[in-house]
Structure 1
Amino acid sequence: MRTAFFLSLLLASVYEVSAVEKTSPFLAWSPQEFTVTKDLNTQVISVQDLQRGVHDLVDCSHKVILVVDEPGLHSSDLGRGRDRLKNQVQEAPSSVQIPFIDGAMDLEKLAESLSQKCQTSFVNANEADDTVNTLEGPSVIYKRLDSGSVVENDKSLDKIISQIRNKFQDNFLVLYSSSQTKEFPIKHRLSARQLPGDPASQKQSGIFHNYTFFSQGIFMGLLIVVIVIPIVFIGVTWNLSVQQPQRFEKKQN
């Protein structure tokens, strides 16, 4: 019985890990205030719901919409070596942070559809380094970060945002996600699990505050439980084994 109980707990934990393994995060921020739709106020979202939510979010009031694609990005990767990205999101007056997209979204097609919606030009920033300087009007820019280095990707993102800010001031919107989910080695799958935080604390910490599958508190709690449960089980078993005497001794003269 006890063996089946512990096996069920283990299988449940593995299922939860696999549930968020093939996911990617979504970030959106702007120096200007924007209204976050109800569909985007969540921790887990499907690709279809995210596409609809983004189209509702974009009201075509920004001169530049920057769509950033970093293949293989997972929410657990956002807390290491991305100080510039972290500052951009936390300092923005308005932001959206969704840790888990169930799958990956084609961000280049998303950028093209947003340019059609807003009737603006579509620009692929991967073809030239000075793309922003050649812009003459409202545009949707698609930028792919595939250098393989977290630090280099963070610098490239900060560079293109600085160019946009210098030319268009604060009239821009950034959409940041991944068109390809990250593949985790089997031995690292447990550490890839990211738990959604308290929605009330998302503005301060967002999804940059990392969680691990086993913390020190959880480990000590499990250790205590392993010790206490056998003791309680043995004590209850002994109490239940106490039987009423079947006969009494005769009185002695």
Structure 2
Amino acid sequence: MARKMLCALALAASGTAAFSGTSPFLMFSSSQLGKHEWGHAQLATSASVNSLVSQSLSTCPSDTYILVSQPGVSAADFENRRVLSYLGQVFNHSDSETSPRVVVPEVAGLVDVQAISRQLQEKCKAEVLKADASTGTIPNQNTFPRLVIVDLPLLPQQSHERAAKLADHDSFLKAVVTSLGGDKYAVLFTTTPVVESDAPSSQYPLQPAYEMDDPYAAVMHTDLKRNVPVHADDGKLGSNLPLFHTYQFLSPAIFMGLLVTLLLLLILYVGISAVSSLQVSYFAFSKEMGPSGQKKQQ
């Protein structure tokens, strides 16, 4: 079973271009982990891996927990078995019942290392110890249970330096497990995906940036640009001027409207004056009662 998992890891290393932005996750222990339903999948999400780890460590099966964080690693870095000799020996162990292990070559997302550490500290009452990979310092406290945090530095970009650094990290991890592991230990090897700036040039060639060939881009549409600073300065200067210098109270539209209103008022005045100048006598509306009026009625 372990050989199949190692082959799956090698296959994932050859197909890293198919799953960009993923990184492997490894977990092995000398004691039986908690009950969980997990198949050795080629690809998994970070949420499922976090759930798996939480279930596996729910019963606090070990005395020493070694939490390793290696940033900028892909499955292609595990292709050379000679570089990772210790991890290769662990994965080639045939007794999977006494030494359970989980290998996920491609994990989409980031494994929550802080949640794992918090669970071990709160539920398992593990004391936190730190191992410094840069100086090779390994703590020697004999308190149990304990959580050993190993933060490995970022790998270089050059392929030969990268392989040498991986070998150093593998040797340091073996020394930590040998010194602090004891009879009951669990190792959780978490990684982060390789970003483009950290990728080795031999495996991840950088594409040249696209530049638009437009020699007139700087001189076109300059007439559409808005002179915002000039208008801002005008506003600041206008705040100190008098009222009639700052605001415009008579525009052409208002001027034409006033002229039309004046003309209409003049016409109305003439009309009212003409109607009021009519003079009609009161006898124009009275009946004639004399002989001439009686003749008109006949």
Aligned counterparts of 2:54 and 2:66: Cα–Cα separation in 1: 14
Partner SS, residue 147 of structure 2: strand
Matches of 2:132 and 2:112, distance apart in 1:
16
SS, match of residue 99 in structure 1: strand
Among candidates 150, 156, 160, match of residue 176 of structure 2: 160
User: 1-side partners of 2:25 and 2:109: how far apart?
Assistant: 11
| Residue aligning to 2:149 | 142
Partner of 2:32: 33
Q: Distance in 1 between matches of 2:36 and 2:92?
A: 19
The residue that corresponds to 1:89 in the other structure is: 91
Structure 2 counterpart SS, 1:177: strand
Aligned residues: 171
Counterpart in the other structure of 1:74 = 74
What is the CA deviation profile of residues 89-132 of structure 1, one whole-angstrom value per residue up to 9, with x for unaligned ones? 3226211111110022242442233322212222232398231x
Gap runs ≥5 in structure 2 = 1-14, 156-164, 206-298
The secondary structure found in structure 2 opposite 1:96 is strand
CA distance in structure 2 between the partners assigned to 1:182 and 1:19 by the alignment: 15
* 3-state SS of 2:67 partner: strand
2:90 aligned counterpart, secondary structure = helix
Instruction: Please show how residues 109-128 of structure 1 align to structure 2 within 5 Å.
Output: 109-126=115-132
SS of residue in 2 equivalent to 1:129: coil
Q: Residues 38-90 of structure 1: CA distance to partner in whole angstroms, max 9, x if unpaired?
A: 24542211111111110001120200111111111111211320111111232
Distance 2:55 2:71 in 1: 24
Letter in 1 for 2:149: Y
- Whichever residue aligns with residue 101 of structure 1, its letter is V
Please give the residue correspondences for 1:1-253 in structure 2 after superposition, counting only pairs within 5 Å: 19-34=18-33, 37-39=36-38, 41-58=40-57, 59-80=59-80, 81-91=83-93, 93-126=99-132, 129-131=137-139, 133-146=140-153, 148=155, 149-165=165-181, 168=182, 170-183=183-196, 184=199, 188=203
Does structure 2 conserve the Cα–Cα contact (< 8 Å) formed by 1:145 and 1:156? no
SS at match of 1:77: helix
Identify if the C-alpha distance between structure 1 residues 117 and 40 changes in structure 2 by more than 3 Å, giving closer, same or farther: farther
Partners of 1:174 and 1:34 lie apart in 2 by 11
One-letter amino acid of the counterpart of residue 126, structure 1: D
CA separation of 1:82/1:185 partners in 2, compared to 1, >3 Å: closer, same or farther?
A: closer
How far residue 156 of structure 1 moved from its aligned partner, in angstroms, is 0.7
Q: Secondary structure at the match of 1:118?
A: coil
- Seen in structure 2, the aligned counterparts of structure 1 residues 55 and 28 have a Cα distance that, compared at 3 Å, is same
On the 8 A contact 2:34/2:61 being kept in 1, the answer is no
| Amino acid across the alignment from 1:83 | S
Deviates more, 1:142-151 or 1:56-65: 142-151
Q: Runs in 1 of length 4+ with deviation above 3 angstroms?
A: 16-19, 33-36, 179-190
Unaligned runs of 5+ in 1: 1-15, 191-253
| Matching residue's letter, 1:87 | Q
Larger radius of gyration: 2
TM-score by length of structure 1 reads 0.59
Give the Cα–Cα distance (whole angstroms) in 2 for the partners of residues 138 and 76 of structure 1. Answer: 34
CA RMSD of aligned residues (A): 2.8
User: Which structure is higher in RCO with an 8 Å CA cutoff and minimum separation 6?
Assistant: 1
